[in-house]
Homo-oligomer: A and B are copies of this chain.
Amino acid sequence: MSDNLRSRPLRMAMIGGGPGSGIGEAHRRGARLDGQITLVSGAFSSTPEKSRQQGEALYLPPDRVHGDWRELIRDEMRRPPNERADFFSIVTPNHLHYEPTREALLAGFHVVMDKPMTMTAEEARDLERLAREKGRVLVLTHTYVGYPMVRLARDLIRQGRLGKIRKIHAEYFSGWLSSPVERQNNKQASWRTDPALAGAGCLGDIGTHAAILAEMVTGLRMEEVAAEVTTFVDGRGNDDDFAMLVRWEGGARGTICASEVAIGEENDISIRVYGDKASLTWSHADHEHLVVRYPDRPKESWSKGWEYVAAASDAA
């Protein structure tokens, strides 16, 4: 039996996520997974016909599908309470994160937005302040920190199993931009490699995942960095690779590396943390396991779903 915290599923309105979108479908699939969220409406594309097509593919009633996200927000505000969306999901290209989120918050909705948050730090702080003022929940989706074995990693470190943290190595390697696919009609690649639409390239798109993973698992903050940021594919507007030396609070050291030109890699995000008592490694390619290693006893592989995992987690 699913945990049932309320009397009905939450209603979600979506901005972005039209035909060819990657993240829109990811948010929808995530929403469907446990039956606690229902998609009720959307402005999936600024091209009305594309938005309509997407709404139809999702079996939405035509009057809940819009070509203009401002119109969607207005429509939701007008709906009676038993129809109205509880929250908005913002899954537009990066340059279109700030405005819709701001408007939805102003209209009184909670918001779940995809990362990176905004094009500037100032915009991000503005949204944070606004959400606080309005008493609304503002969620930023860093999907990898939600894996059960990542949560376990955080708990084991909190409990002191690794001792004092010395070294942190995080990375996110993929190869999907190893050739100039942005010039071959790949819509995803087009906006993601365009500084005006995406802001940062590899650094902002996937480097942020590695960084937040490291912060979340260790509970530490970065203090200083030195980085080499590179664009390997000729003519590309954004960076597609970086390597970074990091100094963490408390004296830990390490690297964060990410790449979109690492041929053969998929979404290979991983983290290794070394303390003065033990170390741990987690990799997305084997996300159901967490490996813990000691100087004086066998290496352990913790496996998702077993009772001993629940017993060791902070929630226990």
Q: Which of A96-104, A117-125, A135-143, A300-308 contacts B (4 or more CB under 8 A)?
A: A300-308
Is there a chain B Cβ closer than 8 Å to A206's Cβ?
no
User: Is A275 close to B, CB under 8 A?
Assistant: yes
Which of A1, A292, A303 has the most chain B CB atoms inside 10 A of its CB? A1
If A228-B253, A263-B275, A278-B264 touch, whether A56 touches B307 (CB-CB below 8 Å) is: no
User: Taking the complex as formed, is A230 at the interface, i.e. its CB lies under 8 A from any CB of chain B?
Assistant: yes
User: Separation in Å of the A277 CB from the closest CB of chain B?
Assistant: 7
A25 at the interface (CB under 8 A from B): yes
A17-36: contact bitstring with B at CB < 8 Å (1 yes, 0 no)?
Answer: 01110000100110011110
CB < 8 Å neighbour of A35 from B56, B58, B277: B58
> Given A25-B2, A257-B255, A308–B299 Cβ distance below 8 Å?
no
Q: Is A262 part of the contact surface with B, judged by Cβ < 8 Å? A: yes
Which of B7, B28, B277, B297 is close to A308, meaning CB atoms less than 8 Å apart?
B297
Are A264 and B299 closer than 8 Å at their CB atoms?
yes
**CB pair A264 B245 closer than 8 Å:** no
Produce 1/0 per residue, A233-273, CB < 8 A to B: 00000000101010100000111010101111110000000
- Whether the Cβ atoms of A274 and B263 lie closer than 8 Å is yes
Contact between chains at B303 and A299 (CB < 8 Å): yes
List the B side residues contacting A227 at CB < 8 Å.
Answer: 245
In the assembled complex, A294 has its CB within 8 A of some CB on chain B: yes
Q: Does A223 contact B (CB under 8 A)?
A: no
A314 to B248, CA, bound (A): 45
Is A295 engaged at the interface, CB distance under 8 Å to the other chain?
yes
Closest B residue to A169 by beta carbon equals B257
Q: Are B264 and A294 in contact (CB under 8 A)?
A: yes
Residue of B nearest to A175 (CB): B295
- Kindly state the separation between the CA atoms of A284 and B246 in the bound complex, as whole angstroms: 26
Complex CA gap A29/B261 in Å reads: 35
A54 within 8 A of partner (CB): yes
A241 & B298 in contact (Cβ 8 Å cutoff) = no
- List chain B residues, Cβ under 8 A from A255: 243, 255, 257
Q: Which positions 149-191 of chain A face chain B at CB distance < 8 Å?
A: 166-167, 169, 175, 178-179
Nearest first, the 7 closest Cβ-Cβ pairs linking A and B are A264-B293, A298-B300, A4-B57, A299-B301, A1-B19, A298-B302, A32-B32
Measured CB to CB, the residues of A under 8 A from B are: 1-4, 7-9, 18-20, 25, 28-29, 32-35, 53-54, 56-59, 166-167, 169, 175, 178-179, 226-228, 230, 232, 241, 243, 245, 247, 253-255, 257, 259, 261-266, 274-279, 292-303, 305-308
